[in-house]
Amino acid sequence: MPIVIALVLIAVGSVAFHLWNPWWLTPIASNWQYIDATIAITFWITGVVFTAVILFMAYCVFRFRHIPGRQAAYEPENKKLEWWLAIVTGVGVAAMLTPGLFVWSQFVTVPANATEFEAVGQQWNWAFRLPGKSGRLGTSDVKYISSDNPLGVNPNDPNGKDNIVIVGDDLHLPVGKPVKVLLRSVDVVHDFYVPEFRAKMDLMPGMVTRFWFTPIRTGEFEILCAGFCGVGHPQMRGKVVVDTESDYQTWLGKQQTFAQLSTPAK
């Protein structure tokens, strides 16, 4: 009986914790409410299965407990039960995966009107690059990285001359406009993650990954690295500030371009 009570309390406690302590419902600040919907579907399906299995175990422990004189029945196979379990499991897995596939397709399909910026991860800090008046990001390569060119912007690419380079400072974005995020690492695997945006993606050395989002409210939001990248991983944090259009343009006008940063001071 103590085991039965413990199992029932586990099932009830798990459901109560989810309903009364929605730890995953961080206030959203982007268009990716679809991510929340997918998580909710997964929680409901796995929660129902988890609760059913635990309660069934409690029933079995109580119903088939040891009683003097009772003999156990040996049944090595039950094809009917096996078929039902396989079908129900398949339907449950499909119900969890299918919404995620649609959301993933939207996640990586960038709208035509999206602007773009680049986030560069390096042990253990974030740096950013935005297009200048030309509206295009210049090419980059790790061979160009130096103390004067920490992002490795190609100095021979005219599209990179007016790029805004942000090192050791906050990233600013305008509210209500879709942005394409280009992600690049210059050393190890990192992960760009802003909880309020419901958006995260790995940064892989030697390649550029991407996703997009639309900030829907102004404010300051913390950028985390969600991939273990060494001893300084917990300190690899940044900040993205979502501004009104006028505030964003004011901030943008104060930033230096790659050409200005790479020109020796006289």
Q: What CATH number is given to the structural domain containing 175?
A: 2.60.40.420
Q: Is the pTM of this model over 0.95?
A: no
Q: Please state, rounded to an integer, the average pLDDT across all residues of the chain.
A: 87
Sign of the four-CA dihedral 225, 119, 211, 188: negative
Q: Give the model's pLDDT for residue 22.
A: 66
Residues 129, 44 share a domain = no
Hey, what are 187's tokens?
């050393």
CA angle 139, 143, 146 (to 5 degrees): 100
pLDDT in tens, 180-222: 999 999 889 999 999 999 888 999 988 899 999 999 999 999 9
Report the distance separating Cα 190 and Cα 120, nearest Å: 9
Same domain, 121 and 240: yes
- Per the structure, the complete domain to which residue 152 belongs is given by 115-262
pLDDT of 119 > 90? The answer is yes
Tens-place pLDDT, residues 247-264: 999 998 888 888 887 765
Q: Are residues 214 and 253 in the same domain?
A: yes
Q: Are residues 151 and 96 in the same domain?
A: no
Asked, for residue 183, whether it belongs to a domain, the answer is yes
Looking at residue 264, its pLDDT comes to: 58
Say if 72 falls within a structural domain. Answer: no
Give yes or no: residues 167 and 62 share one domain.
no
Predicted confidence at residue 92, as pLDDT, reads: 84
The type of residue at 63 is R
**Are residues 159 and 186 both part of a single domain?**
yes
Based on the domain organization, do 120 and 104 belong to the same domain? no
Indicate if 167 and 223 belong to the same structural domain.
yes
* The pLDDT value given to residue 24: 65
In a domain, 57, yes or no: yes
- Asked if 219 and 236 sit in the same domain, the reply is yes
Provide mean pLDDT across the span 219-246.
91
Question: Are residues 193 and 159 located together in one domain of the fold?
Answer: yes
Helix (H, G, I), strand (E, B) or coil at 214: coil
Q: Specify if 71 maps to a domain.
A: no
Q: Specify whether the CB–CB gap between 215 and 29 falls below 8 A.
A: yes
pLDDT band at 132, cuts 50/70/90?
Answer: confident
Are both 96 and 187 inside the same structural domain?
no
Domain contains 101: yes
Q: Give whole-number Cα distances, 77 to 74, 81, 82, 83, 253, in Å.
A: 9, 9, 8, 11, 74
- Percentages helix, strand, coil for the chain (3-state, rounded to 5) are 40, 25, 35
Q: How far is CA 209 from the centre of its chain?
A: 13
Regarding whether 95 and 36 lie in a shared domain, the answer is yes
Instruction: Please tell me the total count of domains within the chain.
Output: 2
76-105 tens-digit pLDDT: 888 888 899 899 889 888 888 888 888 888
